[in-house]
Amino acid sequence: MLTQRVHVDRVFHALGDPTRRAMIEKLSEGPVSVTKLAKPLAITLAAVVQHLQVLEKSGLVHTEKNGRVRTCRIESRGFKVAECWIADRRSLWETRFDRLGKLLAEPD
């Protein structure tokens, strides 16, 4: 079981790369084989596999081998981690703004 901090690190590191985000964009449309996923990308198949490992470790993508074909699909677990981290920050600064607003609205 990953600690929350390590998971946040892995997810944002994974999302920080434009090739990996392009892979996620493609997979959002539906599961595809590694070969199909690699086709529009201007990198080697070995590089695609490395990116996939990063995406799998962060819980953003799941891959499964059936016979000779490895199929990739989106996994929502990693996205939830990113969404929660942003939502937690937003909640902190919005609460602060609300307090400030109330303070400014008070009569002198």
Give, in degrees to the nearest 5, the angle at Cα 5 between 51 and 52.
10
Among 52, 56, 30, 28, CA closest to 41: 52
We find the least distance from the C-beta atom of residue 15 to its own copies, in angstroms, to be 5
From 3, 30, 101, 108, residue interacting with its own copies (rule: CB under 8 A) = 30
Q: Which of 29, 40, 68, 107 binds its own copies (CB under 8 A)?
A: 29
**Is there binding between residue 37 and its own copies (CB under 8 A)?**
no
Verify binding: residue 64, its own copies, rule CB under 8 A: no
Query: Count of CB atoms within 10 A of residue 60's CB?
Result: 26
* Helix 76-105, helix 4-15: angle, nearest 10: 100
Alpha helices, DSSP H, located in 39-75? 45-57
When asked if residue 89 is in the footprint of its own copies (CB under 8 A), the reply is yes
Contact 72, 29 (CB under 8 A): no
Q: Is residue 15 part of the contact set for its own copies (CB under 8 A)?
A: yes
- Binding residues (CB under 8 A) for its own copies: these are 8-9, 12-13, 15-18, 21, 24-25, 27-30, 74, 76, 79, 82-83, 85-86, 89-90, 92-93, 96
